Amino acid sequence: MIKELTIEYLKHKDQDRVFLRFAPDKEASGLVRNFLNGKWSATQKAWHVAYEERIFEKVCDIFYKYGVKVFLKNTYIENIISENIVEPKAATALPDLNAEAFEKLKEFEFWMKSRRYSDNTIVTYMDGLKVFLRFYHNKAIYEITNNDLIIFNNEYILANKLSVSYQNQIINGVKLFFRIVELKSMQPELIYRPKRPKLLPNVLSKEEVKAILNAHSNIKHKAMLSLIYACGLRCGELLQLKPEHIDSKRHLLIIKQSKGRKDRIAPLSESIIKILREYYLLYKPNNYLFEGQNKGEPYDVRSLQQVLKQSLTKCNISKPVSLHWLRHSYATHLLENGTDLRYIQEILGHSSSKTTEIYTHVSTKNLQNITSPFDYL
């Protein structure tokens, strides 16, 4: 990963654009392309993104966990986005981990693996703890108190305007770390934690979904996107599928050890089975159902995101559609077709019915039957 990145405001093809200049790096380029919708400029030889008022904070929010220094090249953009804002500490490099912190983190990681924590949870907690312990580089771990956690929350998380979800994740990780490694109880409840915003899921119309799925002539690309929608899969679940997880005789897809380490099944329609058969006969995957360039290895998530992006371009859909939109659309369309909410919960693998109930807020079936009083005026 790169060590530093420079933000520069420029007029590009009569548009306000923000250029991100850094040494050639595939991982950094992927972050800019996938999370900032970045475009490559051959003339400038740099990535550029749309100008936003808080673009500096947005870039820092993406690159902070990698310890990347973020600089502003010109004062124009700095004056616009940094007025009355304390310069985030994420824009400057924190000291490296000291030897004590490094050993303690190894001990904590081993403990989480022995308790079979999910890979995502381990990565999230470890990344957050590295930032926290680098913040207190010159302080012995046993000397860190609950007051230090409050200071970190104010001077790092809030000062950098980091997300509520990141705040909760890092605080939960710190709490568990000190309980297990230091046998000391921290009290994160003393920190005010705002509620996560309740956002409605993004849903596509059936016509839009059909256009996206039919945009690719490549059967592999079509099969991947179609299966996500046809079974309401998460991206990670699709990429971990194996040929034996398809039970075509019973018209079932078996999803093994998904979120929360749960197995579940989802119905397979005859239409999607037909597409999968056509794909299988042509590609003959060895290990995973959808493999990348190297046989036996799963398809890359960033490549799959690029497949979706190409579909959107081909069918002229300008919405910022992500792969998860297909899962949301599947659930909403099931609800609109009259499927019981309890079955939708089982198919999606939700632990709580409250999670599934959010789709009732975006289903248009009942809303379309409501007559506005405006029509009677």
**Looking at the structure, do residues 229 and 111 belong to the same domain, yes or no?**
no
Task: State percent of the chain over pLDDT 70.
Answer: 86
Q: What is the rounded CA–CA span in Å between residue 248 and residue 274?
A: 10
Q: What is the CATH number of the domain that holds 70?
A: 3.30.780
**Looking at the structure, do residues 112 and 177 belong to the same domain, yes or no?**
yes
**Looking at the structure, do residues 152 and 183 belong to the same domain, yes or no?**
yes
Least confidently predicted of 76-85, 158-167, 238-247, 293-302: 76-85
pLDDT value at residue 82: 35
pLDDT value at residue 70: 73
**Looking at the structure, do residues 251 and 303 belong to the same domain, yes or no?**
yes
Question: Who wins on pLDDT, 71 or 296?
Answer: 296
Q: Assign 124 a pLDDT band (cuts: 50, 70, 90).
A: confident
pLDDT value at residue 81: 36
Q: Assign 268 a pLDDT band (cuts: 50, 70, 90).
A: very high
Q: Which pLDDT tens digit goes with each residue over 44-99?
A: 899 998 876 567 667 877 776 677 777 766 433 333 333 333 334 443 467 888 88
pLDDT value at residue 327: 93
Within-domain flag for 376: no
- Out of 136, 156, 190, a domain closes at 190
Q: Which pLDDT tens digit goes with each residue over 125-146?
A: 998 899 999 999 888 998 998 8
pLDDT value at residue 366: 66
pLDDT value at residue 4: 84
**Looking at the structure, do residues 84 and 119 belong to the same domain, yes or no?**
no
pLDDT value at residue 91: 36
Within-domain flag for 341: yes
The pLDDT mean for the chain works out to 83
Q: Domain count for the chain, please give it.
A: 3
Q: What does the pLDDT average to over 192-212? A: 80
**Looking at the structure, do residues 210 and 324 belong to the same domain, yes or no?**
yes
Q: What is the pTM of this model?
A: 0.60
| Domain housing 9 | 4-90
Question: Who wins on pLDDT, 364 or 222?
Answer: 222
Question: Who wins on pLDDT, 316 or 3?
Answer: 316
Q: What is the CATH number of the domain that holds 302?
A: 1.10.443.10
**Looking at the structure, do residues 226 and 304 belong to the same domain, yes or no?**
yes
pLDDT value at residue 97: 83
**Looking at the structure, do residues 69 and 161 belong to the same domain, yes or no?**
no
- Residues marked as catalytic: 234, 259, 324, 327, 350, 359
Q: Is the pLDDT of residue 192 over 60?
A: no
pLDDT value at residue 264: 92
